[in-house]
Amino acid sequence: MSGSRVALLPGDGIGPEVIDAAVVVCDSFCPGDYQFETHLFGGCSIDASGTAMTDETLEACRAADAVLLGAVGGPKWDTTDADAPRPEQGLLGLRKGLGLFANLRPVRAIAALVDASPLRPERIEGTNLLVVRELTGGIYFGEKKRTELMASDLCEYSVEEVERIARVAFSASRGKVSSIDKANVLETSRLWREVVTRVHAEEFPQVELEHVLVDNAAMQLVSTPGQFDVILAENLFGDILSDEAAMITGSIGMLPSASIGNPDGPGLFEPVHGSAPDIAGQGIANPLAMILSLAMMMRHGFGREEQALAVESAVDQALAGGLRTADLGGSATTDEATAAVLAHLK
Ligand code: IPM
Ligand code: MG
């Protein structure tokens, strides 16, 4: 089993630095298992060709067995001009173009890092939750309007879109699904709640289901995060709650993600953090979210569970051994962090 083709999209800011770390880990831990091919994506693609994702890049990703992405964006391309290209358009276009409607964001309280979280240890201890975020619908993709005097973003969900993401959440659950909505205000949320309730009753009655209003969920995530198993949320709510949940681990630099859902195409694996332009180019970015995203690729993209577990356990051991990058209050460089993980993989 060798030579799975992985499209690499380093992107912008710290993206290339953390992508390098993932490639180094792969090449020394499982040489030959994965072949990498790099493509321009995001801001650097705008600079080169005026668009965040060229048709060639999308085609190359479609033809690959998996896609590993660093991060996109930066002040250079930040604009409120609706007609100017934006790096994020590449990301949204890629998720949509590959049909990746399910975004999995696991959040674990890592024992060695309890001191790095702004939350008290007794609050976060034992937290092991999974955010299942709908990724190709909702307000992100609805019609956008802009005039001199007004702007609007349409939030739309179909029954089918809610059904399929609900199935992912129930299937991933080890006991409970907390479905997030704003059903006291939003029509899309009322549809969401109805459909989730029906899918639960018809297909997953053994799983416990609760409905939580999104504002309340935001509060409970920091007061009693340990109560959650799977958090099921629409696109925008999932985006916001997953950043909040990241702080349970102490840093958003720790959170990996997998975007899946299309059985006929590759999955996309990327850290939850962004391009961190303020520290880009200094060699101090935390590569662990990227390395953990690599593990998610091994697991969800290729079914190589043992490989994934080995990488995850090496990250845990490196942290237990005292590894701390700047975001975790330490001074380890990206290379040192990568070496610390590799030391436990051999
Ligand atoms: C994320 C990011 C993206 C999103 C941005 C960069 C468009 O915040 O992956 O969570 O909102 O989905
Ligand atoms: Mg986000």
> In which band, very low, low, confident or very high, does the pLDDT at 138 lie, cut at 50, 70 and 90?
very high
Instruction: Return phi, psi of residue 145, to 5°.
Output: -130, 145
Instruction: Answer whether 234 contacts ligand 1 (Cβ < 6 A).
Output: no
Rg (alpha carbons) of the chain, rounded to whole number: 20
Question: Between vectors from CA 104 to CA 93 and to CA 172, what angle results, nearest 5°?
Answer: 135
pLDDT(339) > 90: yes
- What pLDDT, on the 0 to 100 scale, is given for residue 80? 85
Looking at the fold, whether 262 and 284 belong to one and the same domain comes out as: yes
Q: What is the CATH number of the domain that holds 288?
A: 3.40.718.10
pLDDT digits (tens, 9 = 90+) for 189-203: 999 999 999 999 999
For residue 164, is it within any domain? yes
226 and 155 assigned to the same domain:
yes
CA-proximal residue: ligand 1, atom 9 (nearest):
272
Q: Which residue has the tokens 């609900």?
A: 166
The answer, yes or no, to whether any atom of ligand 1 lies below 6 A from the CB of 91, is: yes
How many domains, in total, are found in the chain? 2
What was the pLDDT predicted at 81?
87
Q: Provide the annotated active-site residues.
A: 140, 182, 215, 239, 243
SS3 (DSSP) at 67? strand
For the chain, percent of residues with pLDDT exceeding 90: 92
What does pLDDT average to over the chain?
96
Contact 14, 326 (CB under 8 A): no
Is the same domain home to 87 and 161? no
Q: Which of 249, 266, 281 is the last residue of a domain?
A: 249
How far does the centroid of ligand 2 lie from the alpha carbon of residue 138, in Å?
Answer: 15
Binding site membership of 88 for ligand 1 (Cβ less than 6 Å)? yes
Look at residues 228, 249, 270 and tell me which one is the last residue of a structural domain: 249
Same domain, 22 and 124: no
Establish if 107 belongs to a structural domain.
Answer: no
Across residues 139-145, what is the average pLDDT? Answer: 97
Q: Does 285 fall in a domain?
A: yes
**Residues, CB-to-ion distance under 5 Å, ligand 2:** 239
For residue 83, give both structure tokens: 């007609």
Whether residue 90 sits in one domain with residue 45: yes
**Ligand 2 centroid to residue 343 C-alpha, Å:** 31
Do 264 and 215 share a structural domain? no
Cα-to-centroid distance, 200 and ligand 1 (Å): 28
Query: Is the beta carbon of 18 within 6 A of some atom in ligand 1?
Result: no
167 in a domain, yes or no?
yes
Structural domain includes residue 105 = no
| 81 and 4 in a common domain | yes
* 239 Cβ inside 6 Å of ligand 1: yes
Q: Report the nearest atom of ligand 1 relative to the CA of 242.
A: 10
> 56 CA to middle of ligand 1, Å?
23
Q: Which residue, by CA, sits nearest to atom 10 of ligand 1?
A: 239
Same domain, 236 and 147: yes
Q: Decide: 233 in ligand 1 pocket, CB within 6 A.
A: no
The domain boundary, picked from 202, 229, 249, lies at: 249
List the alpha helices (DSSP H) in 101-256: 121-124, 159-172, 187-203, 214-223, 235-246
Residue 2: band (very low, low, confident or very high) from pLDDT cuts 50, 70, 90: low
pLDDT tens figures, 157-216? 999 999 999 999 999 999 999 999 999 999 999 999 999 999 999 999 999 999 999 999
For 292, the domain range is: 1-100+256-346
pTM of the full structure:
0.95
The response to whether residue 109 sits with its C-beta less than 6 Å from ligand 1 reads no
In a domain, 271, yes or no: yes
Residue 49 included in any domain = yes
- In this prediction, residues 71-89 reach a mean pLDDT of 93
Neighbours of 306 (CB within 10 A): 9
Q: Which helix (H) or strand (E) holds 107?
A: strand 102-108
Ligand nearest to the CA of 96: 1
For residue 109, tell me if it sits in a domain: no
- To test ligand 1's pocket by mutation, which of 69, 72, 91 has the most ligand atoms within 8 angstroms of CB? 91
Q: What is the pLDDT of residues 302-333, one digit of tens each?
A: 999 999 999 999 999 999 999 999 999 999 99
Same domain as 126, residue 238: yes
Helix (H) or strand (E) holding 305: helix 305-320
Q: Token pair of 267, please? A: 């999955």
21-30, 92-101, 122-131, 245-254: which has the minimum mean pLDDT? 245-254
187: tokens are 């029509």
| 2 CA distance to ligand 1 middle (Å) | 32
User: 200 and 264: one domain?
Assistant: no
Same domain, 42 and 78: yes
Which residue lies with its CA nearest to atom 6 of ligand 1? 88
Segment 247-258 shows an average pLDDT of: 92
Q: Are residues 136 and 217 in the same domain?
A: yes
Residue nearest to atom 12 of ligand 1 (CA): 239
pLDDT at res. 1: 47
